[in-house]
Amino acid sequence: MPVFTYIAKNMAGEEQKGSREAKDKFELAKTLRRDGFTLIGAEDKGRVKKGFSFSITLFSRISVAERMLFARNLSVMVAAGLPLARSLEILSHESRNAKFQSVLLSVAASISRGANFSQSLKEFPKVFSSLFIAMVSSGEKTGKLEESLKLIAFQLKREYDLRRKVRGAMIYPSVIIVAMIAIAALMLVFVVPTLISTFKDLNIELPLLTRIVIGISDFMVNNLILGLLMILIFIFGIYFAAKTKKGHDFIDAVLLKLPVISGLVKINNAARTCRTFGSLIGAGVDVLEALEITKDVLQNHYYKNILEEARGVVEKGEPISKTFIQNSKHYPSLVGEMMAIGEETGKLSDMLHRLAVFYESEVGQATKDLSTIIEPVLMIIIGAVVGLFAVSMIQPLYNIVGAF
């Protein structure tokens, strides 16, 4: 029988590490559950090599697609009348993600001990978002857990599709830019040095642009490792700077000022706001809580501030639409006007869903337009770079010809 190394926790939060024999991970989880512990991560000792343990189980990523399928399948099982804990155990068997298996088994164990579903999900905030938990909690309170889970699955699918469209539009320019940098590096390392020897033999005065290119080439040839290290430091420096609050705020401001990108940012945030806020309101979540959760879903701090402002407006008893109408610089004016109509008619959730569908289709069209616009712009940039390189190398030869 296999021996598993594991990490488990009890209700008091005490952690236990050890090794146990078990037929599989599911039997191990059941054995630990009888002892009052919840399995967090486990790895078959026979598969551990060179000290590499169950870190993959603990740190593997759980994708949006996996959570979407989980919500959809769980709604079917709940509708069929299966007990919630049993449904979670079945779904853990179906999952191929070791971390997700452990999470689902832990949630099932928590429910078996008497906790409700939403409370059990709160133990894993990095797996289940505040949006997910709030909608489950609403479903439990209203007795419509099946409908809430279906709504969660639909929400996650729309969010997944939206992200895929935006990222898809960025793939082409990213590939072109990387290829351009790689070709430039190869030219500097292998092509320019052959021309340098020719210029030295001719003993002529070189133009400034040619001297700059030759200087970069010399540095790359003589300090290749240092050059690559500097490039890596520069890339990681930008990455970590972007993770800081000031860096993130700076990027947010730049994105809202770029000619083509700003329009995409605005309709993308409008779509996410309307979809998330509408889904939460439709599920019966309190308006203030719905605004707080929607704020957490958004990435741009300008839009987060607008939703925080909306919370203050609601607390004063004023309509939500007031804030969106006043912030037409960031949200399309249609959002505020349609929200006002939804509040007047008592159909705010329906109106938000209609707006979400409209702006999601606009995002799809905008990403296609962006790809069309970016292509000629990249061609111009590539042409300019190639042209400068060619001029820097050919100009000295023309000077020689002109001298005769």
pLDDT in tens, 340-350: 999 999 899 99
Rounded CA-CA distance 85/71 in Å is 14
* Per-residue pLDDT reduced to its tens digit, 122-181: 888 888 888 888 888 888 888 888 888 988 888 888 888 877 877 777 787 788 888 888
User: What single-letter amino acid sits at 124?
Assistant: F
43, amino acid identity: E
SS (H, E, C) the chain: CCEEEEEEEECCCCEEEEEEECCCHHHHHHHHHHCCEEEEEEEEHHHCECCECCHHHHHCCCCHHHHHHHHHHHHHHHHCCCCHHHHHHHHHHHCCCHHHHHHHHHHHHHHHCCCCHHHHHCCCCCCCCHHHHHHHHHHHHHCCHHHHHHHHHHHHHHHHHHHHHHHHHHHHHHHHHHHHHHHHHHHHHHHHHHHHHHHHHHCCCCCHHHHHHHHHHHHHHHCHHHHHHHHHHHHHHHHHHHHCHHHHHHHHHHHCCCCCHHHHHHHHHHHHHHHHHHHHHHCCCCHHHHHHHHHHHCCCHHHHHHHHHHHHHHHCCCCCHHHHHHCCCCCCHHHHHHHHHHHHHCCHHHHHHHHHHHHHHHHHHHHHHHHHHHHHHHHHHHHHHHHHHHHHHHHHHHHHHHHC
Q: Which tokens sit at 38?
A: 């919840």
Instruction: Give mean pLDDT, residues 42-52.
Output: 53
Cβ contact 118:136 at 8 Å: yes
**Fold topology of 63-159:** Receptor-associated Protein (1.20.81)
CB 102 within 8 A of CB 41: yes
pLDDT at 49 over 60: no
Convert the pLDDT of each residue in 362-378 to its tens digit.
Answer: 888 888 777 777 778 88
In the chain, domain spans: 3-44, 63-159
Taking the C-alpha atoms of residue 310 and residue 330, their distance in angstroms, rounded to an integer, is 14
- Please report the pLDDT score of residue 50 as a whole number: 40
Q: How confident is the model at residue 56 (pLDDT cuts 50, 70, 90)?
A: very low
Backbone angles phi, psi at 39, to 5 degrees: -70, 130
- Range 297-309 average pLDDT: 91
Q: Judge contact between 340 and 321, C-beta under 8 A.
A: yes
Token match 């590539």: residue?
Answer: 382
Higher pLDDT, 61 or 333: 333
* CA Rg value for the chain: 29
Distance of alpha carbon 185 from alpha carbon 200, whole angstroms: 22
> Taking residues 272-298, what's their average pLDDT?
88
pLDDT of residue 175: 83
How far apart (Å, rounded) are the C-alpha atoms in residues 392 and 184?
Answer: 14
Model pLDDT, residue 55: 47
**In whole angstroms, what is the distance from residue 279 CA to residue 151 CA?**
7
Measured between alpha carbons, how far is 93 from 226 in angstroms, rounded to an integer?
50
User: What are the tokens at 12?
Assistant: 């008091």
Residue 79 has pLDDT above 50, yes or no: yes
